Structure 1
Amino acid sequence: MSRITAKRGMVFDAEGDANRITTGAPYQNVVKAHIHGRASHAGIEPEKGVSSILIAAEILTRLPLGRIDFETTANIGVVNGGIKRNIIPDYTFLDGELRSLDQSKFEYYTDQFRDIFTQVLQSHDGCSIDLDIENTYAGYMVDRENETAQMIAKAVTEVGLIPKFEYTGGGSDANIFFKNGITALPVGIGLLVSILLVRRLILNKYYWLLRCVNG
């Protein structure tokens, strides 16, 4: 970052058309949990075991997940546990995330995540949870009158498009730029996300982005 002298710019990493200017993006925490139960033979002495999968299931039913509100989302995308059908599983791994455009909500739900893991653990003697919640990037938000937003809007208008100012639920390099004092806003590059989560580039929409950049 020390080699970058610009204080504003465009980031070519956003969904939608070239006239879409992203003026807000969320904070994100990555949530990883290693849940340790107690293994035993499921047919001979199941009462001696504590299923890490059931502990994980209890946690999942209590966590606020999905679209929590219009600014906040959370997801557990990976659940991995157990080694054999006849063994009470003693280890389960959860991998998820929490995002919000609002910092106070972001901090509130981060604390709620921690509390839920702690509360569930307290009801299972002899078990443990290694919980790691790591901030991956900070959010940002500017209004449409922001100097950088207006600079990009002018370029969009000059090629015959109507600027659209929108927030996003995704992160990009812009989050990192903002953290380092550079106001750089993402613009749409003609990307669509299909139901299989495969990014597809729509070439005729990408053409308009190139026109905006080249003037």
Structure 2
Amino acid sequence: MNKERLINEFIELVQIDSETMNEQQIGPVIVNKMKSLGMEVTLDHSQSKTGYGFDNVYGILKGNDSSKKTVFFTTHMDTVTPGNGIKPIINNDYIETDNTTILGADDKAGIAACFESIRHIQEQDIKHGDIEFVITVGEESGLVGAKAFDESLIKADFGYAVDGMGPIGTMVVQAPTQSKIKINIQGKKAHAGMAPEEGISAIEVASLAVSNMPLGRINENTTANIGTFIAEGPTNIVSDSVEIIAEARSLIDEEMSDQVNKMKEAVKVACDQYNTTYTFEHEVMYPSFKYTEQDEVVSIAKNATERIGLEANIIKAGGGSDGNVFSGKGKPTIILSVGYEDIHTTDEKMSIDRLVQVTEQISSIIEGM
């Protein structure tokens, strides 16, 4: 592996603007790089569905050993904001920014590591099966690219999302499903000073509903939260409308559904008490997944990590990723740590040692298939 080349490519990638929904500059660069590595590249034409800046990119490097299994890796090309005009700085063992923008190691460190791992196995003539890559758009704005991707392009039985936090060797084998909830509670207007008893305060109704909802940490698997509570109007008018935006998450699908139903029941009871109406909409944003060390997708990554002298740290997570989406599409996918730090902030940084380690880990997975 060429450490200097890896660093230079990472620095090159983070300097290409690609805030989520605006991947039009980095997309063609990724395509050209994949082709230069000898991959067959396919654009999935999802841009017409998503409205994002580019298509998802699929690439396959054909194997040189038919006894080796096919594997896929997925990363994303978009970043959060502020992600334009990034100026990376090497500071001892870290690559940082000038603190006016993010760095974009999430997930361009993953992309750079994947590309360098391919160069490594080619230069060392390492035997491998087919290696597939899916580089998505819109991960940072709701896993949009992964949701739009046609999973029939992927031939591998399982794969790895190279997009996690923590020391290299950390792998997420369980992650929750999430439901987004939108509630609108209707009241009745009246003059707040002259005839308040003729009105129904939507704020009172909504407050009662929220107070009766189980929220926060429900149990070891499940959480729920109110993110937005909106009621606007003058103080002399009884409020006739409240909008609530909430979420429920759980490692267990059934528990998430049960939590959503409890929140809906709290709204119904409150509205019935005040003799008013409501709407309650919810949408599952991504499915959960759960694997164990007995599953091949986990055991191969664990063994590969230990072969390069690192400890495999198998954990569960509280958030969703493209790995949830691909697992839900029938392609078991766990999350590999990239090792970035302070992501989604202007203090974001990437350890050079960790960048090297994740590249070695990916190479080891490929070799061990």
Matched position secondary structure for 2:358: helix
Distance 2:287 2:212 in 1: 26
CA 1:156–1:92: 2 relative to 1, 3 Å: same
Residue 60 in 1 paired to residue 210 in 2? yes
Letter of the aligned partner of 1:43 in structure 2?
G
Aligned-residue offset at 1:113: 1.8
* Residue pairs, 1:82-101, within 5 angstroms: 82-101=232-251
* Higher share in strand: 1
Which of 107, 114, 127 in structure 1 is aligned with 2:264? 114
Is residue 206–residue 270 contact of structure 2 (8 Å, CA) maintained in 1?
A: no
Q: Which residue number in structure 1 is paired with residue 274 of structure 2?
A: 124
Q: Which residue number in structure 2 is paired with residue 6 of structure 1?
A: 156
Aligned-residue offset at 1:201: 4.1
**What percent identity do the matched residue pairs reach?**
25
Distance 2:346 2:339 in 1: 10
Q: Which residue number in structure 2 is paired with residue 173 of structure 1?
A: 322
Which shifted more, 136-145 or 150-159? 150-159
Distance 2:165 2:202 in 1: 38
Which of 273, 287, 290 in structure 2 is aligned with 1:138? 287
* Residue pairs, 1:176-191, within 5 angstroms: 176-191=325-340
* Residue pairs, 1:2-81, within 5 angstroms: 2-81=152-231
Distance 1:190 1:53 in 2: 45
Unaligned runs of 5+ in 1: none
Unaligned runs of 5+ in 2: 1-150, 365-369
Distance 1:92 1:193 in 2: 35
Q: Which residue number in structure 2 is paired with residue 150 of structure 1?
A: 299
Q: Which has the larger radius of gyration?
A: 2
Aligned-residue offset at 1:23: 0.8
Aligned-residue offset at 1:207: 4.0
TM-score (norm. length: structure 1)? 0.90
Aligned-residue offset at 1:82: 1.9
Distance 1:200 1:152 in 2: 30
Matched position secondary structure for 1:134: strand
* Higher share in helix: 2
Distance 2:348 2:290 in 1: 26
Is residue 20–residue 187 contact of structure 1 (8 Å, CA) maintained in 2?
A: yes
Is residue 249–residue 256 contact of structure 2 (8 Å, CA) maintained in 1?
A: yes
Which shifted more, 7-16 or 75-84? 7-16
Aligned-residue offset at 1:22: 0.6
Letter of the aligned partner of 2:304 in structure 1?
A
Distance 1:86 1:210 in 2: 63
Which shifted more, 137-146 or 102-111? 102-111
Letter of the aligned partner of 1:139 in structure 2?
S
Is residue 82–residue 88 contact of structure 1 (8 Å, CA) maintained in 2?
A: no
Is residue 163–residue 336 contact of structure 2 (8 Å, CA) maintained in 1?
A: yes
1:6-32 CA distance string (max 9 Å, x none): 221110232322211111111211111
TM-score (norm. length: structure 2)? 0.54
Distance 2:167 2:237 in 1: 52
How many aligned residue pairs are there? Answer: 212
Whose RCO is larger (CA < 8 A, sep 6+)? 1
Distance 1:207 1:84 in 2: 59
Distance 2:252 2:301 in 1: 24
